[in-house]
Amino acid sequence: MNGTIRTLSAFALVCAASLPLQAQELKGDAFAGSQKNALCIGCHGIQGFHTAFPETYQVPKLSGQGAKYISTALHAYKSGQRKHPSMRTMANSLSEQDMADLAAYYASTGSGTTVAATPQPGSAAAEALVTKGGCPACHGVNFSKPVDPNYPKIAGQHGDYLYMALTNMMAFTPNDVVPLTARAKIFMGIQGLSGFVILALVIGRSVNILA
């Protein structure tokens, strides 16, 4: 009996050791990430830099963003789920550890701004949009404390980038990201493009925790 238990235990250890690397949570090293971001700073390190293809908008702020979200986004670009030629090329060059390190680095370099417990009220139109879309239900207080680490912090993010992200979500199928698709369709169906503009502006002007 003891021999059987030892055999099963050894088999379990072998199976655990053979799990794919991505199935085991990689720990990112912020310092290592700071040595791997040469390609990143060519766009994200230039204040006010705009991407010109396939759409024109300011590249998103990364400093202070959640590490898990950054890692998730990089994986989505690498798999092709998120569509951007330059980002897919860059993500394809990264290993699992590279992505974890870059995520840890950017998560550690935010503005350090303390976010108030209660968000500042906006215009009636903006408040109606936020309520209708249920933004805080996912992105948290002041859009800065996501309820799930896979969701982004969006407080202070560039308005034109948010607008692009919201409109692009309309192209996703239910098999991609159902919650995001549902939120985008609420705004598109009820408010149209003007609703996206208002929402993007009000979030972009909220407490800035990104840099």
**What confidence tens digit (pLDDT) does each residue in 114-130 have?**
555 555 666 677 677 77
Distance CA 187, CA 191 (A): 5
- Which SS3 state, helix, strand or coil, does residue 57 take? strand
What are the residue boundaries of the structural domains of the chain, listed by start?
Answer: 25-110, 111-211
Cβ pair 46, 62 in contact under 8 A: no
Residue 48 — pLDDT band, cuts 50, 70, 90?
confident
On the question of pLDDT at 62 being above 70, the answer is yes
Is the CATH number of domain 111-211 1.10.760.10? Answer: yes
Average pLDDT (147-169) is 82
Query: Residue 51 is inside which H or E element, if any?
Result: strand 50-51
pTM for the predicted model, two decimal places: 0.74
Residues whose CB falls within 8 Å of the CB of residue 187, separated by 6 or more in sequence, listed in order: 129, 132, 133, 166, 195, 196, 199
Distance CA 34, CA 124 (A): 42
Supply 173's token pair. 């199928």
Residues of the chain above pLDDT 70, percent: 61
- The reported pLDDT for the residue numbered 25 is 73
Residue 95 — pLDDT band, cuts 50, 70, 90?
very high
Hey, CA dihedral for 103, 112, 156, 150, is it positive or negative? positive
pLDDT tens track for 8-32: 344 344 443 433 444 457 899 999 9
Residue 106 — pLDDT band, cuts 50, 70, 90?
very high
- The CATH code of domain 25-110 reads 1.10.760.10
**Nearest in space to 60 (alpha carbons), one of 134, 160, 144, 138:** 160
**Nearest in space to 64 (alpha carbons), one of 184, 177, 146:** 146
Cα Dmax for the chain? 72
- The reported pLDDT for the residue numbered 111 is 66
- The reported pLDDT for the residue numbered 138 is 85
The answer to whether the 25-110 and 111-211 domains have the same CATH topology is yes
pLDDT tens track for 172-209: 555 554 455 555 555 545 444 445 555 555 555 555 55
Report which DSSP code applies to 122.
-
